[in-house]
Structure 1
């Protein structure tokens, strides 16, 4: 078992807590009024809200996440995040799942 702790001094941006070839764990601090620009990942992305309200966008949907809620996206799905009304914080997990590998081989 490994335990990872974020640095409370980080008030904005990403903090990589763990990274391997096909897996990473990132704490992302988003100050009020900040937008993380539209991007995509080659891996499956799981975003877990841990503080504040985060508005999470894809090209087709918009969802407001509150602590305890999570979103899982497929590889290559464009997305962006914003914290319009208060500071927010999320954990972002990038990973290649077993089904991702199988789909890529077909």
Structure 2
């Protein structure tokens, strides 16, 4: 599973980027055979001013399913990463679980 981090204005430190790689990798490890890749966008909207302006956006490409987009905002970048990773794990499990439940029911006669 490839995880690419995009940090367009480099407001986020290398340590936070490494934390993100580790956290996303651990959250989605169970699904790595089905996930083609993950794009992570880390962004600090207001710079050093503070507030709930740190965003973590995950775009997860799942084989045979499509893309799943998870967005999280928090006042701390690592908290935004944690929330997005947890949501991603739940959403991928739900999306892959639905594929198995969609088989049509046959009438018993």
- When normalised by structure 2's length, the TM-score is 0.28
More strand by share: 1
Higher RCO, 1 vs 2 (CA within 8 Å, ≥6 residues apart): 1
Q: Larger C-alpha radius of gyration, 1 or 2?
A: 2
Indicate the structure with greater helix content. Answer: 2
| TM-score scaled by length of structure 1 | 0.29
